[in-house]
């Protein structure tokens, strides 16, 4: 060729003009070769100039080079115009050559030219041109434009199919703009139209989309389709799949996929290992991540900065800073250039530990290495300073950087935690002065801070400006406003904000919860119920904390009936958490001891065709049973057994408890039928307390002794309760049998149990046996208590063995045991009965000297000693003295005084004492008991009437009947040396025989007749009924005669 010949002599030494002058006439081919050479030399302007000069006639190749030069010089319109001038079949390639290089440089212009060519000029472009443009648009996230190209590609004229390359580009593009659902939809449409036979790359992109959508389970269906297509899974596919499981927190599934890779002999690469390491680190299993790091290095793969940063992040989250810095040293040893992010992770880690000084050291190290910290790193330090309360330093750091919205949000939150109003105001002013765009999070913080400062109008102003700033209020915004107004009692404003929330397109239970809590705190439970019902109707999730606040408030205002009414209002609702609500309400009432209300609630819930859980049934049955409501327990137990059977241990124990309350023998027989049952079914130990409290001591004894191998694990307290009950019930033999039984079970009794047995022996008159047991205590390393001595001293005093009682009393003092008032009372009572007035007074003075306070019994015992000696002046003086001190005698003390005065014929003084007596609370309570036990009416009124009319002796006679009823005759032991019990009747001043009513004297007859004329017979009926109940019909007849005047 001519250019080659010339170049062999002197390359390019001759200019084009010189060649032409020499007579050389170049052809189109020569000209194109020259233009090609200029194109390779990137002399595009010269090409444009030569072609435009029209000195040479060019062909399609000339135009292609010319168009490419125009494109390189960004003269797209001229290029298009050039193509339009000659629209032949060859122009298709020229259009392709124009658009394809333009895709990367200016995809929007390429799209415009493509639309112009394809639609306006009808040029049929190649599929490669379409694919190239789609790729470029998707890689830049311009999905709307990419869809336009897809429409052109698949129109009636072109009908190009969507191959894997196009699908992969589109799926990747949708993922890059956060629209994974559109990626999946596009794939499904393309596959359904039959355009696509996906390859591994396309399926891998689809896996990423599924992971983003949280539809990781659908990958299994995709795998089935891939098997149909005969596709082999590769490391990229598995890496995406594992990453998806980590996003869902499914660690076990991610580990299973890794195992599959190993089984399929798919070699992991650095990215795969990094995904595993990052996933386990973020889930808190950094040790597992380190294991993968070791395996990675063992296989010869070097971790990159991302891999090691993930491990450091895992250690920092767990507070293992020494390990984190050890990994950081690996980064330095491998000569990997650290970036800002790895330092930010370390700084965050040390800030979490409160080591702010080390954070500043890392910051200085960054600057020495030429790594310029951004606002993100500084925000991390500011956050650390705020968390440890170093707000002044945080504020100083923030003022030295161009802060962003996170900076000010962090500062404001820190000041809010400290309730620092000045700091909040300063930060607010800085935000307003700074050129930063507020986001909705910052607005929420500002609103909350302003409410804390009491600036309600300012808070409302920011709330109203949110929409003006182009932002949208979220549920936190509404909650902050509602909570702020509710806390200061501005319920109307809070409800207005709530109404605005309901109109907004936001679905959140948080705003309902804030409103309900605010209404409850402001004592508006009825309106709170309305909001709660709406919450349920909208199907929003129920918060246990909120509905318990509502239930507690309703209970506080309306009681248990209010809670039951709430569920009547709710009726039968369809909500996934309604069962939890019902169960928690039942539990609440049961814990309050309101078993009957819980039963009523159960009936309401069942009437709405809702079935409670087994646990709720159990709670109600247990509450009813422990509350003594055996009838309702029986009803509910029957229903429960029909519906659920009796399979669980706790339910069987409830049945045993119920049977015990009805008939212990039946319960024992039931336990006997359970011998073959491998479960540890038995009776609950609390039934022993219930039976003993109800006076069923023998039933408790029979239950323990008859349970056999179904006896529960009882402790010393359980045995002591039954033993004490048997002793109080007079069943000392069985109490001792139970002691031996418990001892064989390995139970070691304490002084409390021994006190019960000693008291039981004393009550039965077996004083010798009681002292034998007392003397054995020290041998068993058990120290007697004040109660032990009190029991024995009381017994000796009642038996009249005052010398022995005194010696035991003195022994107490030697053992540093301080006697209480009850022990003194025992001695004082014993001395008073034996007529030892001086000894009685001496004990009284000693009692007061020890700092103890005499009680009603003390005063009564001293009065008894005076009265027995006939010293009524001394008795009256003592009575007046202690009346001034605020201590009156008990019922018997008044009786001692009244009887003594009557015996001396001092009836008027006796009547005055009776008046005092009828004003005493202890006497009033006793007379009320009389009325309730014999079902009579107002015996106190009748006695007061007798007293007022001067019938003192008649009143005394009736009171003597009360004494007989509540203070019966006590048997006194004759010989304590013999263990056999020989008794004689001891009629002392505390127990009187039945006395006959004395007929009213003739001089009182007319007065009695006058009084009875205006008194109702009911006033005397109680007295007559009392005498009849005692079998003393003659006395009752005498009273009747007085009432009717027939005397």
Q: What is the CATH number of the domain that holds 222?
A: 1.25.40.10
Q: CA–CA separation, 248 vs 251, rounded Å?
A: 8
Is residue 484 a contact partner of residue 448, using CB atoms and an 8 Å limit? Answer: yes
Burial letters for 436-459: b for 16+ Cβ neighbours within 10 Å, e otherwise? bebeebbbbbbbbbbbbbebbebb
Q: Among 258, 281, 304, which residue terminates a domain?
A: 258
Query: In terms of Cα–Cα distance, which of 854, 903, 842 is closest to 879?
Result: 854
User: Is 1041 part of a structural domain of the chain?
Assistant: yes
User: Is 496 part of a structural domain of the chain?
Assistant: no
Q: Among 258, 280, 305, which residue terminates a domain?
A: 258
Both tokens assigned to 279: 């996933």
pLDDT of 1001 reads 32
Is the model's pLDDT at 975 over the cut of 50?
A: no
Residue 57 is classified by DSSP as -
Higher pLDDT, 126 or 241: 241
Phi/psi for 682 (5° steps) reads -160, -175
Reported as type and span, the H/E element at residue 984 is strand 983-986
Band of residue 973 on the pLDDT scale cut at 50, 70, 90 = very low
Comparing 108-122, 407-421, 867-881, 972-986, which segment has the lowest mean pLDDT? 972-986
Give the tens place of pLDDT for each residue, 58-68: 676 777 777 77
pLDDT of 91 reads 56
Comparing 10-19, 122-131, 1013-1022, which segment has the lowest mean pLDDT? 1013-1022
Both tokens assigned to 683: 């009776």
Taking the C-alpha atoms of 578, 583, 586 and 592 in order, what is their torsion angle to the nearest 10 degrees?
A: -120
Is residue 837 a contact partner of residue 871, using CB atoms and an 8 Å limit? Answer: yes
Band of residue 1008 on the pLDDT scale cut at 50, 70, 90 = very low
Q: Residues near 267 by Cβ (< 8 Å), separated by ≥ 6?
A: 235
Query: In terms of Cα–Cα distance, which of 604, 570, 609 is closest to 589?
Result: 604
Query: In terms of Cα–Cα distance, which of 662, 722, 719, 718 is closest to 693?
Result: 722
* Residue 202 CB-density burial (10 A; 0-12 exposed, 13-18 middle, 19+ buried): buried
Band of residue 308 on the pLDDT scale cut at 50, 70, 90 = very high
Taking the C-alpha atoms of 988, 993, 999 and 1003 in order, what is their torsion angle to the nearest 10 degrees?
A: 10
pLDDT of 10 reads 41
Both tokens assigned to 175: 């993922």
Band of residue 681 on the pLDDT scale cut at 50, 70, 90 = low
Both tokens assigned to 98: 């124009």
pLDDT of 46 reads 80
Percent of the chain topping pLDDT 90: 5
Contacts of the segment 980-984: beta carbons below 8 A, 24+ positions apart: 981/764, 981/765, 981/766, 983/765
CA atoms within 13 A on the CB side of 632: 20
Is the model's pLDDT at 156 over the cut of 70?
A: no
**pTM for this model (two decimals):** 0.55
Q: CA–CA separation, 182 vs 1004, rounded Å?
A: 112
Question: What does the mean pLDDT of the chain come to?
Answer: 78
Both tokens assigned to 491: 């319920």
Chain-centre distance for alpha carbon 810: 58
Helix (H, G, I), strand (E, B) or coil at 983: strand
Q: Tell me how far CA of residue 541 lies from CA of 514, 529, 550, 650, 822, in angstroms.
A: 14, 16, 15, 32, 61
Give the tens place of pLDDT for each residue, 576-631: 677 788 888 888 988 888 888 888 888 888 777 777 777 888 888 888 877 878 88
Band of residue 985 on the pLDDT scale cut at 50, 70, 90 = very low
Q: CA–CA separation, 481 vs 506, rounded Å?
A: 15
User: Is 566 part of a structural domain of the chain?
Assistant: no
For residues 543-565, average pLDDT? 90
Band of residue 143 on the pLDDT scale cut at 50, 70, 90 = confident
Higher pLDDT, 784 or 835: 784
* Residue 779 CB-density burial (10 A; 0-12 exposed, 13-18 middle, 19+ buried): exposed
Reported as type and span, the H/E element at residue 754 is helix 751-763
Chain-centre distance for alpha carbon 441: 27
Is the model's pLDDT at 1006 over the cut of 50?
A: no
User: Is 588 part of a structural domain of the chain?
Assistant: no
User: Is 410 part of a structural domain of the chain?
Assistant: no
**Total count of residues recorded for the chain:** 1047
User: Is 226 part of a structural domain of the chain?
Assistant: yes
pLDDT of 78 reads 67
Contacts of the segment 938-947: beta carbons below 8 A, 24+ positions apart: 938/1018, 938/1019, 938/1022, 939/1022, 939/1023, 939/1026, 941/1019, 942/1019, 942/1020, 942/1022, 942/1023, 943/914, 943/918, 943/1023, 944/918, 945/1011, 945/1015, 945/1019, 947/911, 947/914, 947/915, 947/918
Comparing 166-175, 532-541, 553-562, 960-969, which segment has the lowest mean pLDDT? 960-969
Is residue 32 a contact partner of residue 65, using CB atoms and an 8 Å limit? Answer: yes
Is residue 867 a contact partner of residue 899, using CB atoms and an 8 Å limit? Answer: yes
Q: Among 258, 285, 310, which residue terminates a domain?
A: 258
Phi/psi for 267 (5° steps) reads -70, 130
Band of residue 516 on the pLDDT scale cut at 50, 70, 90 = very high
> The domain containing residue 954 runs over which residues?
927-966+990-1047
Give the tens place of pLDDT for each residue, 476-492: 999 999 999 998 889 89
Query: In terms of Cα–Cα distance, which of 4, 9, 57, 12 is closest to 32?
Result: 57
Q: Residues near 159 by Cβ (< 8 Å), separated by ≥ 6?
A: none
* Residue 617 CB-density burial (10 A; 0-12 exposed, 13-18 middle, 19+ buried): buried
For residues 146-170, average pLDDT? 75
Q: CA–CA separation, 719 vs 701, rounded Å?
A: 10
Comparing 54-63, 101-110, 389-398, which segment has the lowest mean pLDDT? 54-63
Percent of the chain topping pLDDT 70: 81
User: Is 227 part of a structural domain of the chain?
Assistant: yes
Is the model's pLDDT at 15 over the cut of 70?
A: no
Q: Tell me how far CA of residue 301 lies from CA of 275, 329, 383, in angstroms.
A: 14, 18, 37
Is residue 695 a contact partner of residue 728, using CB atoms and an 8 Å limit? Answer: no
For residues 232-246, average pLDDT? 85
For residues 714-731, average pLDDT? 84
For residues 641-664, average pLDDT? 74
Is the model's pLDDT at 1012 over the cut of 60?
A: no
pLDDT of 157 reads 66
Comparing 151-155, 270-274, 598-602, which segment has the lowest mean pLDDT? 151-155
Residue 973 is classified by DSSP as E
The count of domains in the chain is: 2
Helix (H, G, I), strand (E, B) or coil at 50: helix
pLDDT of 1018 reads 43
CA atoms within 13 A on the CB side of 512: 24
Helix (H, G, I), strand (E, B) or coil at 450: helix
Write down the H helix ranges in 116-179.
Answer: 127-139, 143-153, 164-176
Both tokens assigned to 969: 């005759």
User: Is 1021 part of a structural domain of the chain?
Assistant: yes
Q: CA–CA separation, 1023 vs 1011, rounded Å?
A: 17
User: What number of H helices and E strands is found in the chain?
Assistant: 60, 2
Let me know the angle formed at the C-alpha of 703 by 701 and 709, rounded to the nearest 5 degrees.
120
What is the widest separation between alpha-carbon atoms in the chain?
180
Comparing 15-19, 78-82, 150-154, 443-447, which segment has the lowest mean pLDDT? 15-19
Give the tens place of pLDDT for each residue, 697-712: 888 888 788 777 667 7
Is the model's pLDDT at 696 over the cut of 70?
A: yes
Query: In terms of Cα–Cα distance, which of 912, 1032, 1024, 907 is closest to 964?
Result: 1032
pLDDT of 527 reads 92
């Amino acid at each position: 060729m001519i250019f080659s010949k010339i170049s062999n002599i002197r390359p390019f030494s001759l200019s084009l003009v010189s060649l032409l002058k020499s007579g050389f006439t170049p052809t189109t081919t020569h000209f194109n070769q020259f233009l090609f050479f200029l194109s390779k030399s990137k002399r595009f302007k010269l090409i444009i100039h030569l072609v435009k000069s029209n000195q040479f006639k060019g062909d399609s190749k000339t135009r292609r080079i010319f168009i490419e030069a125009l494109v390189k010089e960004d003269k797209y319109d001229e290029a298009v115009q050039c193509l339009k001038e000659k629209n032949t079949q060859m122009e298709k390639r020229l259009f392709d050559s124009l658009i394809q290089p333009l895709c990367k440089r200016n995809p929007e212009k390429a799209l415009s030219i493509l639309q112009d060519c394809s639609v306006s000029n009808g040029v049929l472009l190649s599929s490669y041109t379409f694919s190239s443009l789609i790729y470029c648009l998707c890689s830049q996230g311009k999905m709307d434009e990419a869809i336009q190209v897809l429409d052109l590609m698949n129109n009636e004229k072109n009908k190009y199919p969507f191959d894997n390359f196009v699908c992969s580009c589109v799926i990747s593009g949708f993922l890059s703009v956060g629209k994974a659902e559109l990626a999946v939809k596009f794939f499904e449409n393309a596959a359904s139209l039959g355009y696509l036979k996906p390859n591994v790359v396309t399926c891998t992109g689809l896996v990423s989309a599924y992971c983003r959508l949280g539809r990781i389970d659908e990958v299994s269906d995709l795998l089935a389709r891939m098997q149909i297509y005969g596709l082999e899974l590769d490391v990229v596919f598995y890496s995406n799949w594992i990453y998806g499981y980590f996003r869902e927190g499914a660690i076990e599934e991610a580990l299973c996929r890794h195992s599959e890779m190993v089984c399929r002999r798919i070699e992991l690469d650095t990215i795969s290992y990094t995904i595993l390491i990052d996933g386990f680190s973020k889930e808190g299993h950094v040790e597992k991540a380190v294991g993968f790091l070791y395996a990675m290095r063992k296989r010869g793969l070097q971790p990159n900065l991302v891999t090691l940063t993930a491990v450091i992040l895992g250690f920092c989250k767990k507070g293992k800073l020494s390990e984190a810095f050890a990994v950081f040293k690996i980064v330095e040893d491998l000569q990997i250039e650290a970036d800002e992010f790895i330092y930010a992770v370390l700084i965050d880690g040390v800030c979490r530990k409160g080591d702010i000084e080390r954070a500043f050291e890392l910051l200085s190290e960054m600057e020495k290495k030429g790594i310029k910290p951004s606002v993100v790193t500084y925000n991390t330090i500011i956050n650390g300073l705020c968390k440890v309360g170093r707000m002044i330093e945080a504020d100083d750091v923030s003022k030295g950087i161009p802060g962003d919205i996170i900076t000010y949000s962090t500062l404001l939150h820190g000041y809010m935690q400290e309730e620092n109003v000045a700091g909040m105001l300063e930060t607010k002013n800085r935000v307003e002065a700074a050129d930063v765009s507020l986001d909705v999070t910052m607005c929420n913080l500002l609103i909350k801070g302003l409410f804390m400062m009491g600036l309600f109008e300012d808070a409302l102003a920011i709330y109203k400006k949110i929409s003006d700033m182009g932002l949208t209020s979220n549920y936190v915004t509404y909650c902050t406003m509602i909570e702020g107004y509710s806390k200061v009692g501005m319920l109307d404003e809070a409800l207005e904000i709530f109404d605005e929330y309901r109109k907004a397109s936001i679905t959140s239970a948080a705003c309902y919860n804030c409103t309900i809590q605010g209404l409850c705190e402001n004592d508006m439970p009825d309106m709170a119920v309305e909001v709660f019902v709406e919450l349920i109707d909208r199907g929003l999730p129920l918060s246990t904390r909120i509905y318990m606040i509502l239930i507690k408030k309703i209970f506080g205002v309306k009681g248990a009936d209010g809670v039951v009414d709430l569920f009547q209002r709710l009726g039968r609702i369809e909500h996934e958490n309604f069962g939890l609500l019902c169960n928690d309400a039942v539990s609440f009432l049961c814990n309050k001891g309101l078993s009957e209300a819980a039963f009523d609630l159960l009936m309401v819930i069942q009437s709405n065709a809702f079935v409670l859980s087994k646990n709720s049934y159990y709670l109600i049955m247990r509450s009813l049973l422990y509350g003594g409501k055996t009838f309702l327990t029986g009803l509910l137990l029957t229903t429960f057994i029909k519906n659920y059977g009796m399979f669980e241990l706790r339910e069987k124990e409830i049945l045993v408890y119920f049977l015990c309350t009805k008939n212990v023998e039946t319960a024992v027989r039931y336990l006997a039928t359970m011998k073959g049952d491998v479960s540890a079914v038995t009776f609950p130990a609390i039934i022993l307390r219930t039976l003993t409290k109800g006076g069923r001591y023998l039933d408790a004894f029979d239950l323990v002794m008859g349970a056999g191998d179904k006896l529960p694990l009882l402790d010393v307290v359980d045995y002591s309760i039954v033993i004490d009950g048997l002793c109080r019930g007079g069943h000392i033999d069985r109490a001792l049998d139970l002691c031996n039984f418990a001892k064989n079970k390995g139970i070691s009794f304490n002084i409390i149990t021994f006190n019960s047995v000693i008291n039981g022996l004393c009550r039965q008159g077996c004083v010798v046996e009681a002292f034998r047991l007392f003397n054995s205590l020290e041998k068993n390393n058990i120290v007697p208590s004040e109660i032990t001595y009190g029991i024995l001293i009381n017994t000796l005093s009642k038996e009249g063995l005052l010398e022995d009682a005194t010696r035991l009393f003195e022994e107490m003092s030697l053992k540093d045991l301080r006697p209480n008032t009850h022990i003194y009372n025992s001695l004082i009572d014993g001395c008073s009965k034996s007529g030892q007035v001086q000894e009685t007074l001496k004990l009284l003075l000693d009692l007061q000297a020890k700092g103890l306070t005499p009680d009603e019994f003390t005063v009564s015992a001293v009065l008894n000693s005076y009265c027995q000696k006939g010293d009524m002046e001394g008795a009256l003086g003592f009575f007046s003295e202690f009346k001034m001190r605020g201590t009156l005698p008990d019922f018997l003390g008044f009786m001692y005084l009244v009887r003594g005065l009557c015996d001396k014929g001092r009836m008027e003084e006796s009547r005055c004492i009776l008046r005092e007596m009828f004003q005493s609370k202890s006497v009033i309570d006793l007379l009320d008991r009389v009325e309730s036990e014999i079902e009579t009416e107002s015996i106190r009124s009748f006695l007061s009437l007798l007293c007022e009319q001067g019938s003192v002796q008649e009143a005394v006679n009736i009171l003597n009947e009360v004494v007989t009823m509540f203070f019966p005759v006590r048997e006194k032991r004759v010989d304590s040396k013999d263990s056999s019990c020989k008794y004689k009747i001891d009629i002392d001043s505390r127990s009187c025989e039945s006395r006959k009513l004395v007929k009213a004297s003739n001089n009182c007859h007319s007065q009695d007749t006058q009084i009875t004329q205006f008194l109702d017979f009911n006033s005397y009926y109680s007295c007559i009924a009392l005498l009849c109940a005692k079998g003393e019909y003659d006395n009752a007849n005498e009273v009747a005669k007085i009432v009717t005047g027939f005397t």
